[in-house]
Amino acid sequence: MPRMNLEASSSIVTGGASGIGEASARQLAAAGSRVVIADLNQEKGESLANELAGLFVRCDVTSADDAKTAVAAASEMGPLRALVNSAGIGWAARTIDRNNEPMELDKFALVININLIGTFNMLSQSASAIAKTDPVDEDGTRGAIVNMASVAAFDGQIGQCSYSASKGGVVGMTLPIARDLSAAGIRVNTIAPGLIDTPIYGEGEESDQFKAHLGQSVLFPKRLGHGEELAFMVMELLTNPYMNGETVRVDGGIRMPPK
């Protein structure tokens, strides 16, 4: 059985303007897919889309209308075969602060809304379009979806309750969604990245020092991962016809301590 062929297809990468999403968009384009960069960052998104002969669509992943716009734009460039859900935010705060005051509920809800509900929104809208395309192989495959969770879904640190809850939700919904979409020939997998060198940690000298320090806690190799290394796994999960319903850690063997 050959790998799923992405040539002449279209795809959507949320958060595609930066980091892991950008690296995934580059590899999807190299595989012959016309990529929609669905992101809030217009400047970076447009410049990458031009470079890849794709399309930038300003899309807030929490909006059903924006998701529909992104899906329609992709479908015009070719049959939609792949969605990579990489948009996400990191935000740290403890359940109660140093003065024993509770976390603001709105902050917790914001992280859940973008990382979990936003992922589901893009996924359901994309799956609906993929399900209406013609199958590409004798199994009846129509497409594949990859979500970006985090190792924080399993070993969340102090201050990560909202982030871990959002990513744990993504891990938890992977199997039932794969089951829901099996009748449509759509595979669904999730990646749990470890510490990856992207703008999520900020930019500049201070963040470089912080990242060098973080790298020491990785088992091997003792460094942060590169977006490209995560994109290798994205492409594997998208194109390997027998990968379905799974969450894969890509983390250099790290197990996060409490802090």
Ligand X SMILES: NC(=O)c1ccc[n+]([C@@H]2O[C@H](COP(=O)([O-])OP(=O)(O)OC[C@H]3O[C@@H](n4cnc5c(N)ncnc54)[C@H](O)[C@@H]3O)[C@@H](O)[C@H]2O)c1
Residues that bind ligand X (CB under 6 A): 14-15, 17-21, 39-41, 59-62, 86-90, 114, 118, 148, 150, 193, 195-196, 198-200
Are the C-beta atoms of 60 and 122 separated by less than 8 Å?
A: no
163 is catalytic: yes
Residue whose CB is less far from ligand X, 67 or 181:
67
Which helix (H) or strand (E) segment holds residue 138: the answer is: none
Yes or no: say if 141 and 241 are a contact pair by the CB < 8 Å rule: yes
Strand pairing category for 80-85 and 143-148: parallel
Q: Which of 25, 161, 163, 225 is catalytic?
A: 163
Residue 2 CA to residue 123 CA, distance in Å, equals: 25
Nearer to ligand X, 38 or 136 (CB): 38
Per DSSP, which regions of the chain are E strands?
10-14, 34-39, 55-58, 80-85, 143-148, 186-193, 247-250
The distance of closest approach from Cβ of residue 256 to ligand X in the complex, given in angstroms and rounded to an integer, is 10
Nearer to ligand X, 96 or 219 (CB): 219
Nearer to ligand X, 200 or 243 (CB): 200
**Least distance in angstroms from the C-beta of 74 to ligand X:** 15
Closest CA to 19 of 227, 202, 161: 227
Give SS3 for 56: strand
Q: How far is the CB of 199 from ligand X (least distance, A)?
A: 4
Residue 202's φ and ψ, nearest 5 degrees, are 80, 180
- In the complex, minimum distance from the CB of residue 130 to ligand X, in angstroms, rounded to a whole number: 20
Closest approach, Cβ 77 to ligand X, in A, equals 19
Distance CA 240, CA 187 (A): 10
Residues with catalytic function: 163
